[in-house]
Chains A and B, each alone.
Chain A
Amino acid sequence: MTTKTHRVLPGFGLALGYTLVYLSLLILLPLGGMILKASELGFGQIIDIALGERSLAAFRVTFGASLLAAGINAFFGLIVAWILVRYPFPGKRFVDALVDLPFALPTAVAGITLATLYAGNGWLGQYIEPLGFKVAYTPLGIVVALTFITLPFVVRTLQPVIEDIETEVEEAAASLGASRWQTFVKVIFPAIFPALLTGFALAFARAVGEYGSVIFIAGNLPLISEITPLLIISKLEQYDVLGATALAVVMLALSFILLLTVNLLQWWAANRHKNNEPLEAAAGRAAGGAQ
């Protein structure tokens, strides 16, 4: 007797068809349209626009600040996620809800608020500026805005993974003689590393496209604190749709390459982890290193 696997959704054909149509309408069609529009310009012209001094400076600011912000969140987001999962404390649910706030807040509101806080006479700015850190209206302000906007991506990606790690594994490592640091580096970190990379990639992707929160705190000075999305808007204000599309396509290509790299890295990390050691083995190895 053959057993038929029971699926919740109706037929594979229908489900896949729906998926493809949905993704095409929402993602492929607009992106395809953009590339089609850009193809009105030659490849050389696109490169010329992308290599203009202002564009180059904007790409540097956009991708640099985004990488930095995603990096900061990868580190501090990990700590936040860990504490939210592992430690009980009063008001935990409230703190947990706070993490989602940057998701829900209109980005322009976030930008204006941050600019007010960090301006020379703002709550924070008045203490920070005398120390020599100008935040509002400098590239540093862009990093602050992007860090704020992308925090939930890292925390929300890591939380379920950290929840899945059984405390028994740590206990096993400890009972075999591993120090806390060894347990973290050899047992826990490899388990959460793929998720950390995913969070990093999501945060980075979100930061690259961010506009609303940044323009209010960036200062928008050409060659210094202009982000690429602002240049795109600037070109649209000049009715230069083609120029704007060219910049957008270059941004798309760069983001795609970076995300692909991160994904490959993540795939490699996940595979390595899966192949050679279940957590218990890792615990043993951590302990082995201790001897």
Chain B
Amino acid sequence: MTRFHRSISGLLLALVAGAALADASLLNSSYDVARDVYKDYNPLFQKYWKQKTGETLELKQSHGGSSKQVRAVADGLEADVVTMNQANDIEFLAEKGLVAKDWTKKFPNNASPYTSAMVFIVRKGNPKAIKDWSDVAAPGVQMIIPHPKNTGNGRNTYLSAWAWALRQKGGNDKTAQEFLGKLLKNAPLFAAGGRDATTTFMQRGLGDVLITFESEAEMIAKEFGKGNFEVVYPSLTLQTEFPVAVVEKVVDKKGTRKQAQAYLEYLWSKEGQENAAQNYLRPRDAELLKKYAAQFPPVKTFTVDEVFGGANKAFATHFKDGGSFDQIYVQK
């Protein structure tokens, strides 16, 4: 055996040994910004699982754009669980038969362990006096958001504004579409993604208001300093959900159903909820929400199900080709 061959077989041996140390392994396929949440959550669950069953679990994370991750799972990436930021991504897996049809019933709260809200980030002192959605659509205001057709973040902004317009006096689909037309005219660009929008607003100093997740505001504070911006809560906004599901086909094949189920259930435990709160996501646990009240001021929200009759329907009406977004742009 040459030296090269020896080192290769040594490497293989090491890999096999490494895998053997863990009794089982789970892969969590998740959206981009969730990296920190699960980086903190995984050791908590590993410890809990070890105490409960004596089993050593290996937990792996895979992150990327939400829809991209789901496409990878549909194409054969062997993820045991998916933790996403849009329900229609998981619906897509349900249609493909990878996830249970009634996946929203498998866990509490619509299978979404924590929530966030779409908020406004404005420059220090709020020079353009932006208080609500109507102010964002006012002439001369520049709004920074990621592309509504391509990002969950951008879609959430669009739906928030649409729902707000519906709830105004005499509001209907037609007035809402007109309002969105005015609002989108104020976007000098569509950022490539959520983080790109943040950089455009904070670093390149473009625009008067950035619309993003409440949880992102803390990241901005950490990165750019708390004194550089203000957070404004509009009168009505979208409660964004972060749905989770077990990938049935994969856990059956790998024999990891028990672990995968427990991994997601534990997100609702005190530790799991506290971890979410520490990552600036609103926990479902009412007591914890109270404990972190300073961090999460009350905000009037609606869910996509309430106003749009489900994620799939909202998606088809507004973002599919020829939907309301395309109509606004092509008719202009």
Binding site for B on A (CB under 8 A): 52-54, 112, 115-116, 119-122, 136-137, 215-216, 218-223, 225, 230, 233-240, 243
Contact = CB atoms under 8 A, between A and B. Distances in A.
B88 to A, nearest CB: 9
Given A225-B189, A234-B147, A237-B68, 20 more contacts: A54-B326, A115-B200, A121-B205, A122-B204, A136-B204, A215-B192, A216-B192, A218-B189, A220-B189, A220-B190, A221-B187, A221-B190, A222-B329, A222-B330, A223-B329, A223-B330, A233-B150, A237-B149, A238-B149, A238-B321
A236 B189 contact: no
Contact of A237 (B67, B187, B189): B67
Q: Nearest 9 CB-CB pairs, A to B? A: A219-B189, A119-B204, A137-B189, A222-B329, A220-B190, A215-B192, A237-B67, A121-B205, A234-B150
Contacts of B196: 112, 216
**Chain B interface extent, by class:** 20 to 34
Given A237-B67, A238-B321, A53 B204 contact: no
A240 B149 contact: no
A42 B194 CA distance: 36
Interface in B309-323: 315, 319-321
B48 to A, nearest CB: 35
B289 to A, nearest CB: 32
Contacts of B187: 221
Contacts of A238: 149, 315, 319-321
Contacts of A52: 321
Contacts, number: 73
B188 interface: yes
B194 to A, nearest CB: 13
A235 B321 contact: yes
A120 B204 contact: yes
Contacts of B65: 237
Contacts of B332: 223
Interface in B57-113: 65, 67-68, 71, 92
B37 interface: no
Given A216-B192, A243-B321, A54 B329 contact: yes
Given A215-B192, A236-B67, A119 B92 contact: no
B2 interface: no
Nearest to B187: A221
B192 A119 contact: no
B51 interface: no
Nearest to A134: B188
A221 B185 CA distance: 10
A221 B190 CA distance: 6
Contacts of B147: 220, 234
B192 A220 contact: yes
Interface in B192-230: 192, 196, 199-200, 203-206
Contacts of A230: 150
30 contacts: A53-B330, A54-B326, A54-B329, A54-B330, A115-B204, A119-B204, A119-B205, A122-B204, A215-B192, A216-B196, A219-B189, A220-B147, A220-B192, A221-B187, A221-B189, A222-B329, A222-B330, A223-B330, A225-B189, A234-B147, A234-B149, A237-B65, A237-B68, A237-B149, A237-B150, A237-B151, A238-B319, A238-B321, A239-B67, A240-B321
B318 to A, nearest CB: 11
Contacts of B191: 220
Nearest to B332: A223
A121 B201 CA distance: 11
B309 to A, nearest CB: 19
Contacts of B199: 112
Given A223-B330, A238-B319, A120 B206 contact: yes
Nearest to B70: A239
Nearest to A136: B204
